[in-house]
Amino acid sequence: MIPGVEESAAPRPMMAELARLRQAAYRLLACSFLFPEPDLIQESADAARSLRDGESWAAEFAFYGSWREFAEVLSNTDPSQVTDLRDEHMALFGADSARSSIPLTETGYLEPGSLESGQIVASVRQHYASAGLAPRTTTAEPFDHLSVELEFISYLCGKEVDAWDSGELKDARIAMGRQRRFIEKHPSKWAPMVAAGIIHRDGLYARAAAAAEALLTHDIDFLAAARTHLKHAQLARGGAPD
Amino acid sequence: MTASDREDPVSTATVLVCDHVRSAIGSAGMTAVLPSDVCFTPAGELCQRPDAIADASVPAGRPMGVVIGICGAGAGDREYAMHARRAGLDPFGVQVISLGDSPVDGRRAARKLRVAAARATAFHGSRPANSKTVFAGMDGLVSRRALFTLPPVRYIATPTVDRFLCAAGDGCDFCIRACPHDALAVDGDNVVVDRERCNSCGICIAACPERAFEFPGNSAGEIEAATGAYLAGGNETDSPVIDFVCQNISGIGPGDNAGRVSVACAGMIPASALLGAVAGGAGAVSLRPCGDRCTNGGGDLAGQRVDYCRSLLNVVGDDPGRIVLNTDGSTTAPATTDASVERIARSRKESGQDAVPKLFGAESTARAVVAIADSTAIGPVALEHESSPLGLVSVDRDSCTACGTCVVACPAGALRAEESDGRWLLRFDPSLCVACDECTKVCPEIEQGAITMRRVTDLAALREGSRVLIESDMIRCRRCGEPIASERVLSRLASMLGDEVSTGWMRELCVDCRALSG
Ligand code: SF4
Ligand code: SF4
Ligand SMILES: [Zn+2]
Ligand SMILES: [Zn+2]
């Protein structure tokens, strides 16, 4: 190892910065699986452009490759493509997201046939409620829709950002624990199946599904490792892990 | 440069070197030793500047193995991985090969790069589930600020299972039993890996008869490709020594002749790989575990397997010294006898074996044993050994009832039931038997000694191949023609019940038809 290369001049990013990156990534992924609207496309593409060219340290993470390909495709999307995107969305996921060949709801994979919101919906709602979110009944998407689940993780990442920013280590750990448990119990159980159905294709949805799978799969393991790491670091400082 | 104008349909791997390495080898020298589908690209100050990966024209867009050949120690694996990711490459396919301080020994460097390139061509990409996060320690950093700072992150590869190849649905669980960290479990028809428990030792790779594990960087195919490349270059040095080394051991292997094949843990090298390398023309093979610090029990596994292989070489009339366990870090290559290498080379040519030996998976042990024995022209010898990866099953014709329970239990497909001319046959293939003993555990006539399994490598049986252990008439339903049971099962029932009358009707109708006729 050459001194000065490995630990280069740039200081290490803060935990808050990674949480911010993940918050934005989950949010963009959540938007990508919604039925396309011109202003949503515009906003997402703008956000994707600034993220894509953003943090140089992001390449340190295993999800970077898939994330970068997704951000690239999204950056080059504009509202004029709304008709094509709608056609593709319909063709892939269908009008009734629970009944299509590639459903976008968890129920569609893990409780197929039961169109009645069963145990899965009850369970995701419980996760939302315990994080202080009152489930709205007016949303267009069901509670176990991929977009809603991803948006929820983005929300939890936001909580983590706030905690780091205000120096509340304990709150940060709680937010990370919530993310890990939710990802493990819900999206990681079925998002890879969505990806398996379309990953070999071209276009926004295939790249979004690949990026979602990469990020979720990475984060379960990453958050578990981070928990152990923080515990050790706190012990090393002589403090009890809270 | 964008991904699309880099498209190069022919290359399967890329070799990048720093200028110092290039001038030591010479571009012509390099292209001469590399396979034609591997592209060779000089990348300037690669040894100092890992970002030079991005400037080099590496075809992106599909899984691509990349070899980074540098002088000196380079910039650290983490840095190269990060820049590979930025260049659109999969870091698990990147091998950073340090070729010694400048001026580099060109001949030795070319040989190492050729082997790494062969390994790179066998890289088939990774899945998100193959990555496991490792945080660098916070040694010395105990300030409060440190808790809020993102520690450097590394990733190590963990195996995943190809669900189309996994035979767990048929009852196979060899990997689950072999895993020293209890990281594997059956989920539906597949084995799944618990990443948090997995220690990335690859011991499961050695246990899997179906070659179903994906283990980017250390897959069965990659290890075979590297070994094959050393063996194929055998004319360059008279007797190539294959040196399987645990990746925890750094430094140069035994002697310049040795072909160092780095593996995740010594425990992932099965006896079939040691024997397969010998059968593939290696003068000698050494296996180097990392020693006491191995948390996978790799040293013990290596010891048992080497012991078995040496006994086997002895029994078939070869030199047992050709396979050694290297535990003292000795840097002298094991002695090789040129005569045996020549013999193997000759028999390899005669049997038309390909350059890449099969070191893993079902039948690889049997194939290697027979090839070595054929080269010494030994007679029908057998080796009974507690670590024999092969078993030999026999049945007692008097007490076996031909019920077929063992067939259902055998996870390796070594026992099979067949029907021919109305007769029921129990077939056994000794090259598939992994000595798991499942068949004897389930046999209902085991008290009578109906089936026996011995841990023995029996050359006569292996040469003979699959054979019929027992056969019996098959009694069929008079009404629908479906098989009822074997003649032997029904006779056994009759003698148990001591009553010909009540079993007599069992020979007439099957259960379904009996229910129908009331
Ligand atoms: S790599 Fe080792 S620890 Fe991981 S599943 Fe395989 S045998 Fe178990
Ligand atoms: S010991 Fe029996 S069950 Fe196991 S592989 Fe051999 S024949 Fe099959
Ligand atoms: Zn150099
Ligand atoms: Zn019948």
User: How far, in Å, is the centroid of ligand 4 from the Cα of A20?
Assistant: 69
A200 touches B: beta carbon within 8 Å: no
Contacts with B74 from chain A: Cβ below 8 Å: 1-2
Instruction: State what percent of residues in chain B have pLDDT above 90.
Output: 52
Q: Which residues of B touch A216 (CB under 8 A)?
A: 128
Q: In angstroms, what separates the C-alpha of A193 from chain B's closest C-alpha?
A: 13
Ligand 1 binding pocket mutation candidate from B190, B204, B215, B265 (most atoms within 8 A of CB): B204
Task: Give the count of domains, chain B.
Answer: 4
Contact B159, B203 (CB under 8 A): no
What is the structure's pLDDT at A4? 37
Within a domain: B45:
yes
Token pair, residue B56, equals 């080099």
ipTM metric: 0.88
For B497-509, the pLDDT digits (tens) are: 776 666 677 788 8
Q: Which residue of A has its CA nearest to B129?
A: A217
B45 and B106 both lie in a single domain: yes
With respect to residue B399, please indicate whether it lies within any of the assigned structural domains: yes
Check whether the bond before B103 is cis (ω within 30° of 0): yes
Chain B closest-CA separation from residue A139 CA (Å): 31
pLDDT at residue B440 tops 90: yes
Task: Check residue B503 and give its pLDDT.
Answer: 65
- Identify all chain B residues contacting A229, using CB atoms and an 8 Å cutoff: 135, 138, 151
Confirm whether B70 is domain-assigned.
Answer: yes
What backbone torsions phi and psi does residue B323 show, to the nearest 5 degrees? Answer: -125, 120
pLDDT at A21: 94
Q: Is residue B331 part of a domain?
A: no
Domain boundary among B214, B240, B256: B214
Domain boundary (B158, B180, B214) is at B214
Q: For residue B133, give the nearest of A227, A234, A172 by alpha carbon.
A: A227
Indicate the pTM of the whole model.
Answer: 0.89
Residues B209 and B92 in one domain: no
Domain ranges of chain A: 12-93+114-236
Q: What pLDDT does residue A160 have?
A: 96
Identify all chain A residues contacting B155, using CB atoms and an 8 Å cutoff. 62
Tokens of B2: 């964008």
Does residue B43 or residue B312 have the better pLDDT? B312
CB pairs under 8 A between A and B: 105
Residues B47 and B102 in one domain: yes
Is any Cβ of chain B less than 8 angstroms from the Cβ of A181?
A: no
Q: Residue B80 falls within a domain, yes or no?
A: yes
B55 lies in the same domain as B119: yes
Residue B216: strand, helix, or coil? coil
What are the structure tokens assigned to A129, written together?
Answer: 């409620």
Q: What's the B430 CA to ligand 4 centre distance in angstroms?
A: 36
Per-residue pLDDT of chain A (242 residues; tens, 9 = 90+): 333 344 445 678 889 999 999 999 999 999 999 999 999 999 999 999 988 877 788 999 999 999 999 999 999 999 999 999 999 999 898 866 555 678 888 888 887 666 555 788 888 888 888 888 876 655 678 888 999 999 999 999 999 999 999 999 999 999 999 999 999 999 999 999 999 989 888 899 999 999 999 999 999 999 999 988 888 877 777 765 55
Report the atom number in ligand 2 closest to the C-alpha of B393. 7
**Same domain membership, residue B455 and residue B416:** yes
Q: Which amino acid is at B460?
A: A
**B302 or A132, which is more confident?**
B302
Q: Which of residues 34-93 of B touch A (CB under 8 A)?
A: 48, 50, 72-76, 78-79, 82-83, 85-86, 88, 90-91
Q: Summarize the confidence of residues B337-349 as an average pLDDT.
A: 62
Query: What is the number of other CB atoms lying within 10 angstroms of the CB of residue A146?
Result: 27
Q: What is the pLDDT of residues B3-45, one digit of tens each?
A: 333 344 456 889 999 999 999 988 778 877 888 888 888 888 9
Q: Is residue B352 part of a domain?
A: no
Q: In which band, very low, low, confident or very high, does the pLDDT at B281 lie, cut at 50, 70 and 90? A: confident
- Checking if the pLDDT of B89 tops 60, the result is yes
Tell me what the mean pLDDT of segment B155-184 comes to: 94
Which residues on A lie below 8 Å from B149 (Cβ)?
12-15
B13 and B115 assigned to the same domain: yes
For residue B261, the cross-strand partners are: B244
The CATH architecture of the domain made up of A12-93+114-236 is Orthogonal Bundle (1.10)
B21 with B42, same domain: the answer is: yes
Shared domain check, B67 and B174: no
Any CB–CB contact under 8 A between B136 and chain A?
no
Q: Label each residue of chain A as H, E or C.
A: CCCCCCCCCCCCCEHHHHHHHHHHHHHHHHHHCCCCCHHHHHHHHHHHHHHHCCCHHHHHCCCHHHHHHHHHHHHCCCHHHHHHHHHHHHHHHCCCCCCCCCCCEHHHHHCCCCCCCCHHHHHHHHHHHHCCCCCCCCCCCCCCEHHHHHHHHHHHHHHHHHHHHCCCHHHHHHHHHHHHHHHHHCHHHHHHHHHHHHCCCCCHHHHHHHHHHHHHHHHHHHHHHHHHHHHHHHHHCCCCCC
| Residue B2 sits in the same domain as residue B99 | yes
Taking CA atoms, A151 is separated from A123, A166, A179, B500, B502, in Å, by 16, 23, 11, 73, 70
Q: What is the CATH number of the domain that holds B98?
A: 3.40.50
What span, in angstroms and rounded, lies between the C-alpha atoms of B82 and A197? 29
Cβ(B170) to ligand 2 under 6 A?
A: no
Binding site membership of B414 for ligand 2 (Cβ less than 6 Å) = yes
The CATH number that applies at residue B466 is 3.30.70.3270
Give the residue numbers spanning the domain of B496.
476-516
CB of A58 within 8 Å of a chain B CB? The answer is: no
pLDDT for the residue numbered B123: 93
Q: Are residues B486 and B423 in the same domain?
A: no
Tell me, in angstroms, the distance from the centre of ligand 4 to residue B321's CA: 62
Minimum-distance ligand 2 atom for the alpha carbon of B432: 5
Q: What's B209's domain CATH number? A: 3.30.70.20
> For residue B485, is it within any domain?
yes
Asked if A193 reaches chain B (Cβ–Cβ under 8 Å), the answer is: no
